[in-house]
Amino acid sequence: MTDKSNRPSHRGERGQGDREERSGRERSGDQGKSHQGNRGNQGGRAQRGDRGQAYKGDREQRDDRGPQRSGKGLLIGRQPLIEAIRAGKAVDKILLQRNTAGESLAEIKELAKEFNIPIQIVPVEKLNSLTRANHQGVVAFAGLVQYLDLQQVIDHVVTSGALPLFVMLDGITDVRNIGAIARSAVCCGAQALIIPDKGVGALNEEAMKSSAGALGIVQVCRVSSLLKAVDTLHLNGIKVFTSEMGADKKVFDLPLAEPCCIVMGSEDNGVQPYIHKAADEHFTIPMAGDFDSFNVSVAAGIILYEAMKKRLS
């Protein structure tokens, strides 16, 4: 058992020793101060330099590891992006630094064209705000959804013996609406969503959450042109239907038991005129009152449920 009476004495002795040590340093005069200052400055610089070198080494190590994907779902660097696309990884968008050059950039652009990956030219500050790594003028957003070729999806659905029921999204930017539409599509038996490579909300974490995981189930086809997608659908015997407020035909009069694709437009602008013109039939969803219209995800749910009802009967 420790004798408590010894503790104050111990503190006193330690304090006296400290005072003597400080007095000794003060007696050392300018020489001591100079020595101490130099030691502190040199030591501080060396220590900071070591930390800086270590940090630099960490960055170089990260750059050498190949494909990099941060917590934000980023693919950083030229070769890592090329490898990711070749390996079939989903990529939502590619950001290229303005006025950058190199042979690998031509390959990135070719791959982006082949897989319908949108490219955006941005200043270097934009890339620097996304990552501190050596991005080489290239940063891409990794996708949560695997994008598929429309013709291959059609072939797969037909080969399986199912009647194609697709949903095309035209100008829908609210990711929660996209998620809700995907959820209704899966619940009602639709096999695929068709989206453009530009002008549509990102299929990100919020969209996935809103879909309750349905975006991971339904097949998603990203196309460079919705009009070309309509042509592909027509060549495969799939009719295209669009909604119109003043249409004479009601949604329950549509031949939804046939192979078809429903086009859902944005709540602000609706379906684009050239898509509307290329459609086989136009319809409206009747309402009891004179209110504006249904929310786009609600309207999609109504149409898809009507299609499921006809197909089940």
Domains of the chain plus CATH, in order, are 74-142 (3.30.1330.30), 147-312 (3.40.1280.10)
Of the candidates 188, 241, 240, the residue with the CA atom closest to the CA atom of residue 214: 188
On the CB side of 87, CA atoms within 13 Å amount to 10
Contact yes or no for 166/190 (Cβ under 8 A): yes
Instruction: Tell me how far apart the alpha carbons of residues 181 and 177 are, in angstroms, rounded to a whole number.
Output: 6
Instruction: Tell me how far apart the alpha carbons of residues 5 and 9 are, in angstroms, rounded to a whole number.
Output: 8
- Which residue type does 177 have? N
Contact yes or no for 138/78 (Cβ under 8 A): yes
**Tens-digit pLDDT profile for residues 156-203:** 999 999 999 999 999 999 999 999 999 999 999 999 999 998 888 888
Confidence of residue 72 (pLDDT cuts 50, 70, 90): low
Cα distances from 4 to residues 1, 10, 13, in angstroms, run: 9, 10, 15
pLDDT at site 209: 94
Calculate the average pLDDT of the chain.
Answer: 81
State pTM to two decimals. 0.71
pLDDT of 94 over the 70 cut: yes
pLDDT at site 11: 42
Question: Mean pLDDT throughout 236-254?
Answer: 93
Distance from the first to the final alpha carbon of the chain: 89
Q: Which residue shows structure tokens 């990100």?
A: 204
Greater pLDDT, 52 or 296: 296
Query: Which two three-digit tokens encode residue 138?
Result: 């290239």
Q: How, if at all, do strands 192-196 and 219-223 pair? A: parallel
pLDDT of 17 over the 70 cut: no
**Tens-digit pLDDT profile for residues 23-45:** 444 444 444 444 444 444 444 43
pLDDT of 80 over the 80 cut: yes
**Tens-digit pLDDT profile for residues 191-220:** 999 999 888 888 888 999 999 999 999 999
pLDDT at site 289: 80
pLDDT at site 44: 41
Of the candidates 229, 227, 223, 225, the residue with the CA atom closest to the CA atom of residue 115: 223
pLDDT of 269 over the 90 cut: no
Contact yes or no for 147/90 (Cβ under 8 A): yes
pLDDT at site 293: 82
Contact yes or no for 145/194 (Cβ under 8 A): no
Of the candidates 99, 49, 118, the residue with the CA atom closest to the CA atom of residue 108: 118
Q: CA geometry: angle at 115 spanning 228 and 167, to 5°?
A: 50
